């Protein structure tokens, strides 16, 4: 035995063993990608380099034998720098997708690829459980999300994206109807109490996450029912309240306590609430409509967009008159104009200062509004609202043209001097944005835009008070963005309660750059069409517009998924070390080595694009399997791994062996599903 020091720890190791083995015996991990203890040292990847006191060069821990009195630093600045360089060289030539672009584009990083596959296989309860790993409202979000995941879906390069949002709603509805919801796993009770102000998607998601972490959670909301803007800002015809109620009830069933009709500043101060809980999250949303600051906004018959929608949900019947105009181009404007149609307005207009192409509303919302009789007027903006006897009588429109692009790339609307028009109206609904209601939250510092100020850890300047969602720095956005923040805020609160520090997970992934040519061989399969009620029928009531997917259509649609993300991501050592070293995957990216997908092994797929030429598969086949099927072909940068068959029985042997698949550290080798039986 020899004695050495590794990271200030005295270690005894057998003479002749490697530094890597000695460190492992002492519980010290040295990253490595080309080593298996059953194989002879190889030293190909360069990731296991360490620094030895008195030795001028870095040593490869897998191939360097221990010596008496050695002093090793596994994470010195020099070793880490060399290790990171080795990782960046490998990642720069690693042409694979760690995660599907759908998951990367989802603000909350929902594993779309996984639950779509589970739906394709008829495993609906598993699909809903996958979604609930991220948020507890799959049926509701599936109905209202503008699905940025679909905008990124690679299937669009074949014919059309997967209908991910509709599939989410289908699975949630199916599981709820069948009553086979999988119970969530709860951590043991911590004895800590968290109060959450706001029962919208952010507050509910944070509450659900913290409850699963073992904390006692109470949600306070100013409205009679939970749901926030999902309930009071989205019409029944898009999101039935019974669906939302079922999902909020399910959250309560997980142990979250709800307190409604409770408003901060009226029923209790924020300071008092903070005194009753170990931590507080403010997620009270953005409940005020943004005014246009034009003459006549105070006239009777002028509504803010979300104020109008909330009034209708609460059972009020606003007297709209015959002619209604909605100002704005987003989804709230679409909700408002389609609601006005259902309330009996004879003529409903949408006034938008840019063109149809620049409208931020979903295209399907615009198309369905037109089907229901809404008329659109573009390149015009209200300059003032006229009135008779204190009530709206019309609006003066300033005609516009498009000028230079703004910071987001959209061309700015520019007034056309001297070109105005008077439009006779009975009601004007202004849906140009939302802002915070900060009454009761005076103790918290605000940003320049009026939102609550917080650090990257979601903590406000008040100890133990956190903020997320529309109330936080970025302001109002889509529900899934609020949910994404809520999940991170829940992690921050959990760390705070346990005396730790919130550390966001680094987003280190490899992404392929693809074109339509990469999918030219794929069969074109038409995207499923959501069945909807006829426009003439649906415009007369508030029943749900979408009729839902049937099981056959849903499974067929889910089966269109290209499964872009890597099958081995969860166990991939390459990406685990890349994250640990905060690797810049694109810094050294250049020309890729030869890439191809090969199935000559019949039962095993080899994706050369993901190969890092660590040679583990070649060596394990030679040294452990004693077959030597795989070998290195070529020299230098163009070297690839290929099989060579000298015996027709080899493919059947590969089926039962699988050692190369188990050894691969990157997911370049995959056992084909046909061989799993």
Cβ neighbours of residue 156 under 8 Å, at least 6 residues apart? Answer: none
Does residue 662 have a pLDDT over 60? yes
Cβ neighbours of residue 402 under 8 Å, at least 6 residues apart? Answer: 354, 355, 358, 379, 411, 412, 413, 414
Does residue 121 have a pLDDT over 50? yes
Residues 257 and 318 in one domain: no
In a domain, 37, yes or no: yes
Residues 412 and 493 in one domain: no
Does residue 98 have a pLDDT over 50? yes
How confident is the model at residue 165, as a pLDDT?
97
In a domain, 511, yes or no: no
What mean pLDDT do residues 516-540 have? 96
We report the CATH number of the domain holding residue 624 as 3.30.70.20
In a domain, 588, yes or no: no
From the CB of residue 467, how many other CB atoms can be counted at a distance below 10 Å?
Answer: 28
Residues 56 and 71 in one domain: yes
We report the CATH number of the domain holding residue 472 as 3.50.50.60
In a domain, 295, yes or no: yes
In a domain, 161, yes or no: no
Integer Cα distance of 647 and 149 in angstroms? 47
How confident is the model at residue 677, as a pLDDT?
34
User: Percentage of residues in the chain with pLDDT exceeding 70?
Assistant: 99
pTM, entire model: 0.91
DSSP three-state, residue 380:
strand
In a domain, 71, yes or no: yes
Does residue 646 have a pLDDT over 80? no
Residues 476 and 424 in one domain: no
In a domain, 119, yes or no: no
The arrangement of strands across the sheet holding 323-327 comes to 302-304, 427-430, 323-327, 347-352, 375-378
User: Percentage of residues in the chain with pLDDT exceeding 90?
Assistant: 84
DSSP three-state, residue 427:
strand
Does residue 217 have a pLDDT over 80? yes
Domain boundary (49, 70, 92) is at 92
What mean pLDDT do residues 439-457 have? 93
Residues 608 and 670 in one domain: yes
How confident is the model at residue 132, as a pLDDT?
97
Report which of 224, 196, 221, 199 is spatially closest to residue 210, judged by C-alpha positions.
196
How confident is the model at residue 651, as a pLDDT?
79
C-alpha distances (whole Å) from 405 to each of 47, 356, 357, 408 are 46, 16, 14, 7
Does residue 676 have a pLDDT over 50? no
Cβ neighbours of residue 389 under 8 Å, at least 6 residues apart? Answer: none
pLDDT tens digits along 458-476: 999 999 999 999 999 888 9
We report the CATH number of the domain holding residue 64 as 3.10.20.740
Indicate the range of 171-175, 340-344, 626-630 predicted with least confidence: 626-630
Integer Cα distance of 50 and 55 in angstroms? 10
How confident is the model at residue 675, as a pLDDT?
40
DSSP-assigned beta bridge partners for residue 323: 347
Residues 282 and 376 in one domain: no
Does residue 78 have a pLDDT over 60? yes
Domain boundary (64, 92, 120) is at 92
Integer Cα distance of 172 and 114 in angstroms? 15
Residues 364 and 443 in one domain: no
Residues 294 and 429 in one domain: yes
How confident is the model at residue 38, as a pLDDT?
86
Does residue 620 have a pLDDT over 50? yes
Residues 307 and 251 in one domain: no
What mean pLDDT do residues 39-57 have? 92
CA–chain centroid gap for 90, Å, is: 27
Domain boundary (445, 470, 497) is at 497
What mean pLDDT do residues 341-364 have? 96
How confident is the model at residue 600, as a pLDDT?
77
pLDDT band at 317 (very low <50, low <70, confident <90, very high): confident
DSSP run (H or E) holding 396: strand 391-405
Q: What is the mean pLDDT of the chain?
A: 94
- Percent of the chain as helix, strand, coil, to the nearest 5: 35, 20, 50
C-alpha distances (whole Å) from 471 to each of 173, 394, 438 are 30, 34, 9
Domain count, the chain: 4
How confident is the model at residue 673, as a pLDDT?
66
Residues 349 and 425 in one domain: yes
Q: Are 221 and 243 in contact (CB under 8 A)?
A: no
Which residue matches tokens 């109002």? 476
What mean pLDDT do residues 507-523 have? 91
Integer Cα distance of 585 and 567 in angstroms? 19
How confident is the model at residue 277, as a pLDDT?
98
In a domain, 159, yes or no: no
What's the domain range around 458?
Answer: 193-287+437-497
Residues 269 and 303 in one domain: no
Number of H helices, E strands in the chain: 22, 25
Integer Cα distance of 121 and 475 in angstroms? 39
Residues 271 and 357 in one domain: no
């Amino acid at each position: 035995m020899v004695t050495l020091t590794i990271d200030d720890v005295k270690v005894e190791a057998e003479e002749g063993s490697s530094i890597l083995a000695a460190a492992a015996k002492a519980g010290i991990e040295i990253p490595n990608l080309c080593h298996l203890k059953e194989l002879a040292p190889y030293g190909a990847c360069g990731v296991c380099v360490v620094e030895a006191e008195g030795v001028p060069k870095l040593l490869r821990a897998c191939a360097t034998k221990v010596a008496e009195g050695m002093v090793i630093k596994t994470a010195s600045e020099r070793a880490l720098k060399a290790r990171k360089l080795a990782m960046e060289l490998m990642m720069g030539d690693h042409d694979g997708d760690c995660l599907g672009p759908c998951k990367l584009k989802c603000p909350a990083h929902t594993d779309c690829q996984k639950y779509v596959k589970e739906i394709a296989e008829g495993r609906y309860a598993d699909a809903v459980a996958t979604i609930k790993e991220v948020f507890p409202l799959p049926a509701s979000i599936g109905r209202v999300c503008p699905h940025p995941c679909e905008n990124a879906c690679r299937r669009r390069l074949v014919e059309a994206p997967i209908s991910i949002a509709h599939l989410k709603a289908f699975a949630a509805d199916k599981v709820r109807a069948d009553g086979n919801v999988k119970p969530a796993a709860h951590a043991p009770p911590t004895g800590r109490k968290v109060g959450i102000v706001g029962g919208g998607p952010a507050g509910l998601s944070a509450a659900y996450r913290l409850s699963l972490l073992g904390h006692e959670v109470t949600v306070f909301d100013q409205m009679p029912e939970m749901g926030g803007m999902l309930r009071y800002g989205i019409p029944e015809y898009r999101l039935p309240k019974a669906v939302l109620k079922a999902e909020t009830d399910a959250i309560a069933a997980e142990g979250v306590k709800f307190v409604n009709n409770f408003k901060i500043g009226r029923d209790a101060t924020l300071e008092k609430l903070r005194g009753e809980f170990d931590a507080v999250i403010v997620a009270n949303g953005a409940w005020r409509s943004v005014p246009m600051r034009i003459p006549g906004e105070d006239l009777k018959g002028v509504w803010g967009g979300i104020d109008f929608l909330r009034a209708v949900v609460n059972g009020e019947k606003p007297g709209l008159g015959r002619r209604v105009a909605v100002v704005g181009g987003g989804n709230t404007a679409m909700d408002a104009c389609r609601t006005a149609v259902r309330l009996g307005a004879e003529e409903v207009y949408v006034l938008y200062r840019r063109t149809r192409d620049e409208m931020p509303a979903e295209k399907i919302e615009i198309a369905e509004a037109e089907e229901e009789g809404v008329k659109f007027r573009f390149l015009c903006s209200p300059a003032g609202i006229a009135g008779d006897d204190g009530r709206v009588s019309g609006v003066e429109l300033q005609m516009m043209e498009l000028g230079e692009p703004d910071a987001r790339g959209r061309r700015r609307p520019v007034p056309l001097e001297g070109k105005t028009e008077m439009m006779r109206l009975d009601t004007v609904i202004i849906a140009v944005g939302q802002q915070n209601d900060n009454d009761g939250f005076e103790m918290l510092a605000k940003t320049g835009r009026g939102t609550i100020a917080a650090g990257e850890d979601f903590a406000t300047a008040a100890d133990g008070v956190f903020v997320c969602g529309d109330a936080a720095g970025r302001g109002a956005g889509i529900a899934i963005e609020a949910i994404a923040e809520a999940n991170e805020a829940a992690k921050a609160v959990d760390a705070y309660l346990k005396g730790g520090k919130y550390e966001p997970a680094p987003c280190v992934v490899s992404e392929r750059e693809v074109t339509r040519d990469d999918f030219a061989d794929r069969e074109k399969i038409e995207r499923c069409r959501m069945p909807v009620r006829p426009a003439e029928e649906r415009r007369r009531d508030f029943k749900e517009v979408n009729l839902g997917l049937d099981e056959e259509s849903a499974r067929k649609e889910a089966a269109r998924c290209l499964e872009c993300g890597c099958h081995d991501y969860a166990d991939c050592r390459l990406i685990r070390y890349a994250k640990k070293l905060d690797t810049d995957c694109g810094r050294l990216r250049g020309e890729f080595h030869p890439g191809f997908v090969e199935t000559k092994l019949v039962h095993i797929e080899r994706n050369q694009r993901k190969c890092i030429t660590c040679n583990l598969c070649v060596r394990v086949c030679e040294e452990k399997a004693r077959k030597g099927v795989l070998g290195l072909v070529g020299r230098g940068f163009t070297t690839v791994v290929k099989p060579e068959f000298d015996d027709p029985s080899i493919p059947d042997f590969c089926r039962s062996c699988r050692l190369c698949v188990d050894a691969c550290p990157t997911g370049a080798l995959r056992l084909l599903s046909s061989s799993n039986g």
